[in-house]
Structure 1
Amino acid sequence: MPFRARVTLESIPVQGYKVKFMSKSSKALTAAALAVAWLTAGPVLAQSAPPAPALSGLSLQQALALAQERNPDLRLSAIAVRNAEAAVLSASAAPNPTLSIQSSSINPRTGVGSGGLRDKNIDTTVRLDQLIERGGKRELRTENARRLVEASRLDVNDTRRQLTLATSEAYYDLLAAQERLAVTQETTQLFDSTLEAAQRRRKAGDIAGADVERLQVDVLRARNDARLAQADLARAQLALAQLLNVCCDTAGIRATDPWPGFEASDNVADIDRLIEQRPDVRAAQARLEAAQAARQLALASRTRDVSVGVQFEHAPGDNANNTYGLAVQIPLFVRYNFEGEIRSAEANLDTAREVLDKTRIVARNDASRALQDLQAAADRARRFEQELLVAAKKSADAAEFGFRNGASAVMDVLDARRTYRATQLDAVTARADYARALSAWRTAVMKEEGK
């Protein structure tokens, strides 16, 4: 039979409201209870959702802060540190003692006898054994685990270093895409105004129709370039949003910082000294020290551990039958002397040395290449800023003025316009190359945090 339930906002307070349930069946009460749960939980769930960050005016520092806060790779590196710290607790713990209780001399024919528990015909033994590690095994295990924790923390810093470089490059790619779009849109507007002027001159008989058609072709090309620049901007916004791990309207992301200024890079400090402070090099060094501790631990395996035990034995009968005992267990290395563990530890130590050498070479080449790229990009960007843009702008302005006043042909203004637009786009590329090279140089010699 169908039922009806009515929920009115009175009688029961729910987040500032009063709710009264009027029903004619238990099912209606259940439905009403679900309605209350929905009303109660809805705002709570809405409040728990993290707000999307505002990215309409994004500076580089804000982008770096968001990347370090939200990037999943950095979070995974932090989880690895916690895992390594847990390994330290396990390595530094002493062996637990072993308690054993044994009953023996139970005769199935005669049974266990009568009387209390102490009078039963059962021999009962209580024994406590403790393993005593020798050769500094626990200290070496702890040292190995601590070095691995240090390496994991340095891995977090290296992940942060690489994330800083990737975010900076993505940010400057976005800034360059914004400027390319602005240049192409401005060029399109100039071509449109030039086309209008050419059409007026054609009506007056001052210009041939073929020249107007040529100008029309350049107008269409400029519009295609603007559309392509718009697509490049969308790709740059998506790339930066992926690094920031944000799920918002990426079309609203906009970089607001200016291009970085030119920095002197001729007299730099010793690169070999700088790379020794990089987190990836320090992490490789920490893993080498951990491998050294592991090798010492493998050698310490040849030092015999001793197990010491004490026991109490109760036999039925007189109390004088209670006895005590001591036991010592010493392993005998008659068949195997841990050669495999020692060889494996030595191989791991050699591997750690090779990894450290390789990491140093990669870091040195990375820093040297970043410095050379920075110097070349600075020279190119400075030449565009101080010479090429100025000359191309003067040529374009002169051609525009002459065309509007009937002193120059269409081809002259088109050539000047193409040259100026190409120079502007090349200048944007040069600025972006310098900004990326500067970021690469800074991250190539980035120190460990706190150093």
Structure 2
Amino acid sequence: MTTIPQRLRPHSTLLLYPTLLLSSVLTMPAAYAAVIPDIAAPLTASDINAKPDTVLSQLSLAQALKIALAANRDLKLSQIAIDSAAAAKIIAGAAPNPTLTIQTAGMNPKLGIGAGTLRDKTVDTTFRIDQLIERGGKRDLRLQGATHLETSAKFDNEGQLRQLRLATSFAYFDLMAAQGKFSIANELRSIFRTTLSTADLRKKTGDIAGADAARVKVDAMRAENDARQAANDLFQAQSSLLSLLSAQSAPSDLRAIDAWADIAAADAQLLYADIRPLIAQRADVKSAQARLDAALSARQLALAAKTRDVSVGLQFEHYPVSPTNTLGSGNSFGISVQIPLFARYAYQGEISLAEKNVDSAREILEKTKENARFELLNIQESARSAQEKVQRFQQELLQAARQSASAAEFAFKNGAIGVTDLLDARRIYRTTELDAINAQADYAKALSALRISIQEVTTP
């Protein structure tokens, strides 16, 4: 091992800075292909029935998605909405029940009801059954509309599932980025602490000016603030992910263990494929279409209200035979029919409202299609742009910033530049490194959003 002269040892700590920080970046890009397929893989029974751990610590993206599927409350609410729609479908398909009426009349308060058994009492007893007969196919139309609403609820659940996967993936990538920034900030703080200690010693020996030592102290204090902010950002990212997982763990216990994407693993065909034909297969578009179908059924039902329903009644009446009653056994039968008369109102309001609801549902469908088209195109363009940024950072910017920082360290060691130039080179390198992490996170999010959106319309 080469021995560094005593007068140069303070600069040796400075020279290690680019190497330490670069190693933290170059070790991040790894087999990201193992992350994305977990997002795009079809759900299994074990995924749906997965139970969240009591304490979450070392967590992969695949595990986070499984826990979210099992524990997320918004997803549970959307599943309850499906059950509610199924119950509404049962209600809509039910036929009207008959009505039984039992009536006793003719009781004279002065003469009483007479002697003998209940059958011999001098009262008029009537048994009547009424049945509403719906006409115009109203029951089928109600059932048809409820079926469309149930279908819409199912597609809403699929859309909620997509949003949950996106939110969980994004939160996981934010946590990965926060961890990387926290690591860099701590390394920088440690380096500046050592540099500040060395600068104070050199100031006492007259090796550097007091102004230079003050500049080092200012940057050291900035590094302390940056480290504290990075710790807060990490806590916020941990809390956001735990909220999506409905987990009770302490945020500080959570750590993402997956690696960043390897650019070579990106699917070029996916980034440049024509995805516009897939718009009609999106869950939100299908849900809007189902709601339009339900509105059309409701309009037909409103028009069917002009077809009169008929209520048919069958009656049996018993009056006991008495000395004053010589009409026979006292038993009689009767039939009745009730038909509504549209003398003042013929459901004009319901029909007009149903027409407006159809117009509204049609506009919502077209708006949903437009939003889906722009969303898919924007996601694809974001993925392409993010890929180019990451490639530029890995192939050019990081290397240039590292070389610049290394040259500044070497020049400062040999007295060619001052502390100000050295600190500027450090600052540029650190900013470039943090920007590289942000680019990695943006690329991971865009690629995940693209794959999840594709999976939504290609997986049964």
Please name the residue that 1:41 is paired with.
none
Q: Secondary structure at the match of 1:248?
A: coil
- Which residue does the alignment assign to 1:118? 119
What is the deviation of 1:415?
2.8
Pairwise CA RMSD of aligned residues?
2.4
- Cα distance in 2 for residues equivalent to 1:411 and 1:361: 53
Alignment pair present for 1:327 and 2:336: yes
* Aligned residue identity for 1:372: E
Q: Does 1:231 align with 2:232?
A: yes
Q: Distance in 2 between matches of 1:270 and 1:159?
A: 21
CA distance in 1 between partners of 2:86 and 2:262 (Å): 43
Q: Tell me, yes or no, if the aligned pair for 1:363 and 1:444 is still in contact at 8 Å.
A: no
Q: Is the 8 A contact 1:188 1:222 kept in 2?
A: yes
- Taking a change above 3 Å as real, the CA distance of residues 199 and 105 of structure 1, as seen in their structure-2 partners, is closer
Q: After the TM superposition, which of the residue ranges 333-342 and 205-214 deviates more from structure 2?
A: 205-214
Indicate yes or no: 2:362 matched with 1:353.
Answer: yes
> Which residue does 1:306 correspond to in 2?
310
Deviations 1:235-287 (A, max 9, x none): 1112222222223211111111112344224431332x222121111111110
Contact 1:161 1:446 in 2 (8 A): no
Residue in 2 aligned with 1:131?
132
Closer, same or farther in 2 for the Cα pair 1:261/1:288, shift >3 Å?
farther
Q: 1:384 to 1:51 in 2, by over 3 A?
A: closer
What are the within-5 Å matches in structure 2 for residues 54-203 of structure 1?
54-198=55-199
* Higher relative contact order, structure no. (Cα contacts within 8 Å, ≥ 6 residues apart): 2
Q: Cα offset for 1:206?
A: 4.6
2:302·2:350 contact (CA, 8 Å) conserved in 1? yes
Contact 1:314 1:321 in 2 (8 A): yes
Amino acid paired to 1:369: N
Whether 1:215 and 2:220 are equivalent positions in the alignment is no
Distance 2:315 2:399 in 1: 97
Distance in 2 separating the partners of 1:346 and 1:419: 63
1:196/1:96 Cα in 2 relative to 1: closer, same or farther (>3 Å)?
same
Any idea what the Cα deviations from partners look like across 1:173-196, whole Å, max 9, x if unmatched? Answer: 111111111112222233334445
Secondary structure at the aligned position of 1:447 is classed as helix
How far off is 1:392 after superposition?
1.5
Amino acid aligned to 2:446: A
Q: Is the 8 A contact 1:77 1:155 kept in 2?
A: yes
TM-score normalised to the size of structure 2?
A: 0.81
Structure 2: where are the runs of 5+ without partners?
A: 1-50, 322-326
Name the aligned partner's letter for residue 260 of structure 1. Answer: A
Q: What SS does the aligned partner of 1:276 have?
A: helix
Q: Distance in 2 between matches of 1:261 and 1:331?
A: 74
Q: CA deviation at 1:212?
A: 3.0
Distance 1:209 1:117, change over 3 A: closer
Question: Equivalent of 2:436, from 427, 430, 433?
Answer: 427
1:363 aligns with 2:372: yes
State how many pairs are aligned: 401
Contact 2:55 2:249 in 1 (8 A): no
**Contact 2:82/2:150 (<8 A) preserved:** yes
Who is 1:341 aligned against? 350
Q: Distance in 2 between matches of 1:62 and 1:286?
A: 33
Residue 269 (structure 1) aligns with: 274
Task: Determine the C-alpha separation between the residues in 2 that align with 1:255 and 1:368.
Answer: 30
Cα drift, residue 56 of structure 1? 1.6
How far apart, in 1, do the equivalents of 2:457 and 2:155 lie? Answer: 7
Which residue pairs with 1:297 in the alignment? 301
Q: Are positions 1:440 and 2:449 aligned together?
A: yes
Whole-angstrom distance in 2 between the partners of 1:239 and 1:133: 54
**1:439 positional shift:** 3.0
Shift of 1:343: 0.9
CA distance in 2, matches of 1:114, 1:54: 81
1:146-181: per-residue Cα shift (whole Å, max 9, x none)? Answer: 111111121122122222222222211111111111
User: How many Å separate the matches in 2 of 1:99 and 1:147?
Assistant: 34
- Code of the residue aligned with 1:304 in structure 2: it is R
| Cα distance in 2 between the residues matched to 1:73 and 1:117 | 62
